[in-house]
Structure 1
Amino acid sequence: MLSSIVLYAGFAGITIFIGGLLANYFNHHIPESPVKYEITHTLMSFGAGIILSALALVLVPKGIEELGLLPLVVSFLIGAVAFMLLDEYLAKRGGQVATLLAMLMDFIPESIALGAVFASDYGTAVLLAVIIGLQNLPEAFNAYRDLVQSGLSTKKTHLIFFCLSFLGIIGALSGHFFLTNSPVLTAYLMTFASGGILYLLIQDIIPESKMEKNYLTSLGATLGFLVGMIGEKIV
């Protein structure tokens, strides 16, 4: 069990580092052009679709299954408000810290939930790990570019992303040891994260992925959601 948790959580986390490597290659080896701009926005849109699939197919259903109506509503709203306040604070701070924290807002709660779910629902845990990994890839791609553009060196950014890759394993093991026998508490965590992630999705990710007079980039969100559907069907 522990080896499976480390393996899948490691996959979910290592895509942060891979996303940074891809962004570095993309920035330095692909010439500036409208096509490059479209690819960047399509990746953001794809990530938004995967995040939406995680909400609709994994996180929210688990919350609905375990929680009553009032606890479900309260935990979801608390998550949304908490992320709104944090987003406002980060916007005022600006710079590399804001970008870095924004990328982690959904990764850490999902990793903890991943470890907690492994003991009770192996299939859902595997699906969640795949979704988290695919979700982190485009998010890390965009976060890396923002960090470098804000003045952080590529060497330091690579080091930060490499260290962040292990947070998935730490979070998953914490969830496994402390939340395995607490399905209700896990549901609270997943519902709380759902409210916050949905806020971020609507407030930041979707608007930034949109391009005027370009309709193909939005197809990326549809394809991202399809990835989640396929994973759910396979499981």
Structure 2
Amino acid sequence: MLAFGAGALISAVSFDLFEEGLKLAGGVPVALGLAAGALTYFAADRLVEQKVPGAGAALALGALLDGIPEQAVLGIGLASGEGISISLLAAIFVSNLPEAIGASSDLRQARRSPGTIMRMWGAVAVLCALASLAGFAVADATSGDVEAGINGFAAGALLVMLVDSMIPEAARKAGRIAGLVTVLGFAVAAGLS
């Protein structure tokens, strides 16, 4: 599941975040967002790792740092009348479900209670829903540069999370087959895009 999700996330970063950001405003806003997202995830992951060791917390942090800007972009798209592409929704689902399953199973192995895990995912869901509402509310005041920067932020956070947590954990758990399953996840999500 982690390997498949990693492939889907690589596709989402490539086609739904980075490429869309470039179309919206060019390279500078996307690059600034990319750097901000990567540095934010890197720093936040180090803090989380001190309190909750293991890949589960890192994957949950990745879901949060990816989810908030992703949902803000969806809110902006809805408010501007662009709608939401089915391919983006499918890519979000295809990538986030394995990420959530992997994080939850790692947290259970680390002896976190089911209630704690459910509260954590509930908080992530509420924050992401609020990000959609915020994106919808500020859509008229945002430019393509802001949306491109948000896309870049999500892409940067995701890339660091993929390399630091998700891909190594998938390879550790599944062995060499993880690479093939990652390609399958990429292909499915890319096909949906």
Alignment TM class, shorter chain as reference: 0.7 to 0.9
Kept in 2: contact 1:103–1:143 (CA 8 A): no
State the alpha-carbon separation in 1 of the partners of residues 125 and 19 from structure 2.
27
- Unaligned residue ranges in structure 1 (runs of 5+): 1-42
**Following the alignment from structure 2 to structure 1, what is the Cα–Cα distance between the partners of residues 120 and 11?**
28
Q: 2:155 aligns with which of 194, 200, 206?
A: 194
Distance 1:203 1:85 in 2: 12
1:111 aligns with 2:71: yes
Q: How does 1:1-235 map to 2 (within 5 A)?
A: 43-95=1-53, 98-99=57-58, 100-118=60-78, 119-124=80-85, 126-162=86-122, 164-179=124-139, 182=142, 183-211=144-172, 214-232=175-193
Same amino acid, percent of matched pairs: 27
**If you compute each CA radius of gyration, which structure gives the higher value, 1 or 2?**
1
C-alpha distance after superposition, 1:3-25 (max 9, x if no partner): xxxxxxxxxxxxxxxxxxxxxxx
1:193-235 CA distances to partner (integer Å, 9 max, x unpaired)? 1112111111211111114994333221111111222212xxx
User: Matched residues in 2 for 1:180 and 1:147: separation?
Assistant: 40
**Equivalent residues of 1:117, 1:180 under 8 A apart:** no
Distance 1:159 1:150 in 2: 16
How many Å separate the matches in 1 of 2:2 and 2:147?
28
Give the RMSD, CA atoms, in angstroms: 2.6
CA distance in 2, matches of 1:180, 1:214: 48
Give the TM-score of the pair, scaled to structure 1.
0.70
Aligned-partner residue type, residue 83 of structure 1: Y
Deviation at 1:186, TM superposition (A): 1.4
**Comparing 216-225 with 150-159, which one deviates more in the overlay?**
150-159
Shift of 1:73: 2.4
Unaligned runs of 5+ in 2: none
> What letter corresponds to residue 210 of structure 1 in structure 2?
A
